Structure 1
Amino acid sequence: MADLIVKAAVKEELDDRNVSSDFYEALNEEVEELLDDAARRAEGNDRKTVQPRDL
C-alpha cells in the first residue's frame, strides 16, 4: 500500500497532540477506502473524472 498521507502534515494539523505510530497506518487505510469509493461512484456515473461530489 502506498502512503497517501504526509505524516508531518498530519502531526502539524493535530497541533500539540501526541500521535501514535499506528494512527498513520489506520488513517492511510481510511483515505485509501475513501478514494476507492469515490472512484467507484464516478465510474458508476459513467465518468472518468472523480469529483468532490463523489466523496
Structure 2
Amino acid sequence: MGLILANNELQQAHLYIRNKSHLALNHMAIPQLSYTFSENDRVNLSGASLSMLKQ
C-alpha cells in the first residue's frame, strides 16, 4: 500500500498503480499529475486529492 499525506510537497509525479495495489492520497494535490491504473487496483482520494481527477 502506498500512502501520500498532505505534508508532502510534490509538484510533479507519474504514478504507476499495478498488480492489485492500493494508493491513498489524503488531502493532497499534485499540480502536474499523470497516472496509470490497472483494473484490479484500489485508490482512495480525499479532500484536495479529488480535484486531481479533473485534469
Q: TM-score range by the shorter chain?
A: under 0.3
Q: Which has the larger radius of gyration?
A: 1
Which structure has more relative contact order (CA 8 Å, sep 6+)? It is 2
Q: Which structure shows the bigger proportion of residues in strand conformation?
A: 2
**TM-score (ref. length: structure 1):** 0.17
**TM-score (ref. length: structure 2):** 0.17
Q: Which structure shows the bigger proportion of residues in helix conformation?
A: 1
